[in-house]
Amino acid sequence: MPRGYPASAGRSGAANSRPQEGRVLQTVLRAILDGFIRQPVRIVPVAFAAGILAATGLLMLPVAQADPGSTRFVDALFTATSAIAVTGLVTVDTPTHWSGFGEAVILGCMQLGGLGIMTTAAFLGMLVSRKLRLRSKLMTQAELHPSISLGDVRSVLRFAMLFTLVVEGTFAAILALRFHFAYDLGAGEATWHGVFHSVAAFNNAGFALYSDSIIGFATDPWISLPLAFGTVLGGLGIPVVYELLRRRSQLTWSLHTKMTLAGTAVLLFGGWLVLLALEWSNPGTFGQFAWHERFLPAFFQSAVLRTSGFNSIDVGQLNDDSLLVSMVLMFIGGGSASTAGGIKVTTFFMLMLVIWAEIRGERDASAFRRSLPMPVVREALTVALVYLALNVVAVMLMQRFEPDIMLAPIMFEVVSAAATVGQSTGITYDLGDPSKWLLAIVMYGGRIGPVLFATSLAMATRKRLYRYPETRPLVG
């Protein structure tokens, strides 16, 4: 210590520095919190990541495993991510590897991931306090859909929970009765199977308590149709269903609702007919059934291909052209603000309308006598390109990690993960750890969405106060 200063002075300086450090840390934390409050969309990726880590910890517990101590961390993380991201891809056999507690954890993750962690937290908070705070409204609005006004958040939130319980409860009852009376399952086991598969269907997760998914029920309409309809309803999106029940007249439906319903119908029945035609005589898929039994499995595959990981046929036996059609359907996905993944139905049809307008030489793209604003078209193009980039990069990396696997199965697996579908040609069990980590990251990115992911990482939004001179480069 320098001469001329008492010893107490050094101690006093150190003591004074601690409050300053505390104030600096407090300022930093407050700045981060204020950033989340101003842009609530940023907290959604954090919430999903926290949910995945918590679920991983629960699945690592011995009580969650049928054979305690047999679960590796990467498999627990992969399963937790697949459940939270409502995908359905698995690296271990669900019915034999996990105990009843483990299956319950997976069910809870599917429900939380489907409804949305922030949506669920806001609803529980509303039940406790009977009042939804502005911060919770902003976070819930960010997760449901930006088009929902703050005044409607509370009513939409209640409707989402009630609608979920009614749909899942109805289909669970139908499935449980069928499992009990047609397949001789005990009352308790039949009820559990009904609840588990109903939740998996509505949340578009595709987890099954059978090693071959529902291949054993391919021609049973009392199993296939509830799962198919539950998947379609979950894939429409809460805003669409909410508007359908509030506004009975088609004249008052929003453009989003009209495009979602029209797009879903076209893809559902179009996919049904195309898959039926391509696989009609394939003995490994629809050709194994009598001619009049082939329609149901084809309809089921068309319904679940865009959003859910259930399968009533061996996907690995599909023809190459059917695999390509399946990848296109998975890439498109379901409705916005739904439990489905993909670029979303409205995004795909907006891009198709823009192309059609350009071919016809029209200045603006339109649908149902409404013009599509350019900012929305740019958003649709951005979402599609980001999803495409995610798939391309993931395919390239996975091809490096798995040089012994053909390109087509790898592409199918990556598209399925990115679109949070869960369909697989059967290679998931054989993947190495690097590929498992990669697919977990892809599922996470696919669930929160490229736009949401990019927005959560952006620290600020800039708006230029000037414009550069406009010019036209050559195209094509």
Q: Which of 272, 305, 294, 320 is nearest to 420 (CA)?
A: 305
Examine the pLDDT at 248 and tell me if it is beyond 50: yes
Q: What is the mean pLDDT of the chain?
A: 83
- Structural tokens at position 137: 């409204």
Per-residue model confidence as pLDDT tens digits over 125-183 = 444 444 555 455 455 544 455 455 444 666 777 788 888 899 999 999 999 999 999 99
Examine the pLDDT at 340 and tell me if it is beyond 50: yes
Give the pLDDT score at 463.
66
Q: Which of 246, 260, 264, 358 is nearest to 303 (CA)?
A: 264
Q: How far apart are CA 111 and CA 117, in angstroms?
A: 9
Spell out the alpha helix ranges (H) of 306-432.
Answer: 320-332, 345-359, 374-401, 407-418
Sequence ranges of the domains in the chain = 21-145+152-457
Band of residue 306 on the pLDDT scale cut at 50, 70, 90:
confident
Per-residue model confidence as pLDDT tens digits over 267-280 = 999 999 999 999 99
Give the pLDDT score at 203.
92
Q: How far apart are CA 136 and CA 125, in angstroms?
A: 9
Q: How far apart are CA 160 and CA 88, in angstroms?
A: 22
Q: How do the residues of the chain divide into helix, strand and coil, expressed in percent and rounded to 5?
A: 70, 0, 30
For residue 121, with 0-12 CB atoms within 10 Å meaning exposed, 13-18 middle and 19 or more buried, which class applies?
Answer: middle
Examine the pLDDT at 114 and tell me if it is beyond 80: yes
Give the pLDDT score at 454.
47
Give the pLDDT score at 5.
43
DSSP codes, 415-473: HHHHTT----SS-GGG--HHHHHHHHHHHHHHHH-HHHHHHHH-------S--PPP---
**Amino acid found at 281:** S
- DSSP class of residue 40 equals G
Q: How far apart are CA 277 and CA 272, in angstroms?
A: 9
Q: What is the pTM of this model?
A: 0.84
Give the pLDDT score at 373.
85
Give the pLDDT score at 252.
72
Give the pLDDT score at 243.
81
Give the pLDDT score at 341.
85
Band of residue 117 on the pLDDT scale cut at 50, 70, 90:
low
**Amino acid found at 12:** S
Band of residue 6 on the pLDDT scale cut at 50, 70, 90:
very low
E strand or H helix that includes residue 293: none
For the ranges 3-17, 191-205, 220-234, 408-422, which has the lowest average pLDDT?
3-17
Q: In 14-76, which ranges are E strands?
A: none
Q: What percent of the chain has pLDDT over 70?
A: 79
Per-residue model confidence as pLDDT tens digits over 316-330 = 999 999 999 999 999
Per-residue model confidence as pLDDT tens digits over 343-386 = 989 899 999 999 999 898 888 888 888 888 887 888 888 889 98
- 8 A C-beta contact, residue 380 and residue 388: no
Partner residues linked to 36 by β-bridges: none
- 8 A C-beta contact, residue 422 and residue 309: yes
Band of residue 38 on the pLDDT scale cut at 50, 70, 90:
low
Per-residue model confidence as pLDDT tens digits over 64-98 = 999 888 899 999 999 999 999 999 999 999 999 99
Spell out the alpha helix ranges (H) of 184-309.
Answer: 187-202, 221-236, 238-246, 255-279, 295-305
For the ranges 114-123, 174-183, 220-229, which has the lowest average pLDDT?
114-123
Give the pLDDT score at 1.
43
